Amino acid sequence: MEIKIVENTKEVVCDVLVVGKFIDKQTSNALLNRFAPENFTGKKGETFSIHTQKEYPSTYILGIGLGEEQNLDNNVIRENIAKAVKKCIELKAKTIAFDIETDLACGISIVIGTSLANYHFDKYKTKKEHRIAEIYLSNVLPESIEYAKTVADAVKLARNLANEPAQFATPAKLAEIAQGLDGINTVVYDEAKIRELGMGAYLAVAQGSVQPPKFIHMKYIPENPKKRIAIIGKGLCFDSGGLDIKPASSMLTMRDDMSGAACVLGVMKALGKLRPNIEVHGIIAACENMPSGSSYKPGDIVTAKNGKTIEVDNTDAEGRLTLADALCYACELGVDEVIDIATLTGACMVALGNAASGIMGNDEDFVKNIIQTGAYVGEKYWEMPMWQEYRDNMDSDIADMKNTGTRYGGASAAGMFLKEFVTENVKWAHLDVAGTAFLDKPFKEFSKGATGVGVRTLLSHIIA
């Protein structure tokens, strides 16, 4: 999608001119006075469209309600722009101009809203979905539009990777993509090296698959960084459950179990362009969880990189085993902050649905800060408790811990498990995106499938 900045969007010859209206403001916009029907009030999400019959440079005028002006924020703009764009797509528009009367710097939200709504995973369809090809904006800063484009592209990469079938999006493929990122230095460790590094928990998960594991470490290292951060993405290219195999209906979408990794790849790609003065390490312990003669088994005991032993209680609780070793590795880098993002537990999905991701961590202010950043960019997080009770359920008779506790409270249990592999002097947050990474039906700005959740939060957190 091309973005053009023009003097006055009202004069652009295009398919649709999108015009915003506030419910509580008498509009001075001559266009609305001329084209809007009587009953168009400007209530949030309300729309109308009208063919201009050649009385105007645009073929259609599409009005979008933005609610009360004082309540306008990024989220209102992005969500409603996305709604308007979907209407434009229904009208088979190719080119859209935006006329949103506000002092708020809304260019970023318009670009991101449009890009999110314009996304379809139709790579494998011979007949492609209709898409918006060009948008026109005025009263925007070129730098902020460039930033928005970079963020939107990062989200798109994350969505494409998580939507991609597991037959193609293999650990080796993720490694190849990581190695091709501009401005990023990537090292990839294969099985022998992973063993040498002592990542016994991760290797156990990987050992049932014919796809070899790839430990991916992407580095963005500026000269005198203000801060050093590691971001870790769960990279289960497919999670069948292993020998504790999932029922068919639960396995169906498990190509999305690398959504955390996809997010980290998107973020690193954007960082290579944005080049902030922050050191960032993107880490992915990529593998598949498969049943086979070489699979790890319930009752096995594995040793993580920090020497802690784990009894495998359930081979389907594999993500935390791969993350355990990745967390140890990240902490050994001596960074100030570690954030992991993972489609970790069905329990988190049950608790929060697709409205919000779960968040846990070892530093109250750090967690609060990420929640606030998420709220600002339109990704919701809800803090789940980290109480000792959840950890007690994972005591093992024969090892330091088991990889699962009781059936209930699973999101918190997983968080307590991960905490065992985080060094205390490092600020750590864990984002459980099991419910938000992949949609079974369209929701808000998103079509069915991958959402690219986390990319906007992590980028904002890093850049801020």
Q: Would you tell me which residues interact with ligand BES (CB under 6 A)?
A: 239, 257, 314, 316-319, 343-347, 349, 404, 410, 434
Tell the residue number behind the tokens 């954030």, with chain if given.
339
CA angle 329, 206, 175 (to 5 degrees): 65
Would you count residue 239 as binding Zn ion (CB under 5 A)? yes
Binding residue for Mg ion (CB under 5 A) from 15, 316, 325, 340? 316
* DSSP per-residue codes, 232-280: EEEEEEEE--TTSPPPHHHHTTGGGGGHHHHHHHHHHHHHHHH--SSEE
Binding residue for Zn ion (CB under 5 A) from 244, 257, 288, 337? 257
Active site residue 246: yes
What is the chain's alpha carbon radius of gyration, rounded to the nearest angstrom?
23
46 vs 239, which CB is nearer to Zn ion? 239
97 vs 434, which CB is nearer to ligand BES? 434
DSSP 102: -
Would you count residue 288 as binding Zn ion (CB under 5 A)? no
Q: Which of residues 199-258 bind Mg ion (CB under 5 A)?
A: 239
Number of residues forming the site for Zn ion (CB under 5 A): 4
Please state the closest distance from residue 314 (CB atom) to ligand BES, in A: 4
Q: Among residues 83, 305, 320, 456, which one is catalytic?
A: 320
* DSSP per-residue codes, 155-222: HHHHHHHHHS-TTTS-HHHHHHHHHT-TT-EEEEE-HHHHHHTT-HHHHHHHTT-SSPPEEEEEEE--
Would you count residue 313 as binding Mg ion (CB under 5 A)? no
State how far the Cα of 355 lies from the Cα of 365, in Å rounded to an integer.
Answer: 23
Residue nearest to ligand BES (CB): 346
58 vs 393, which CB is nearer to ligand BES? 393
Please state the closest distance from residue 435 (CB atom) to ligand BES, in A: 7
Q: Which ranges of 295-386 would DSSP assign to H, the alpha helix?
A: 319-332, 346-352, 364-377
Q: At what angle do helices 142-163 and 455-463 cross, to 10 degrees?
A: 140
315 vs 447, which CB is nearer to Zn ion? 315
Would you count residue 99 as binding Zn ion (CB under 5 A)? no
* CB 309 within 8 Å of CB 397: no
Q: Among residues 44, 195, 228, 246, which one is catalytic?
A: 246
Q: What is the dihedral of CA 340, 343, 346, 352, to 10 degrees?
A: 70
29 vs 211, which CB is nearer to Zn ion? 211
- For residue 404, the partner it binds in Zn ion, ligand BES, Mg ion, none, with Cβ less than 5 to 8 A by kind, is ligand BES
Active site residue 320: yes
Binding residue for Zn ion (CB under 5 A) from 107, 319, 410, 415? 319
* CB 128 within 8 Å of CB 122: yes
> Where on the chain is the footprint of Zn ion (CB under 5 A)?
236, 239, 257, 319
Residues known to be catalytic: 246, 320
> Where on the chain is the footprint of Mg ion (CB under 5 A)?
239, 316, 318
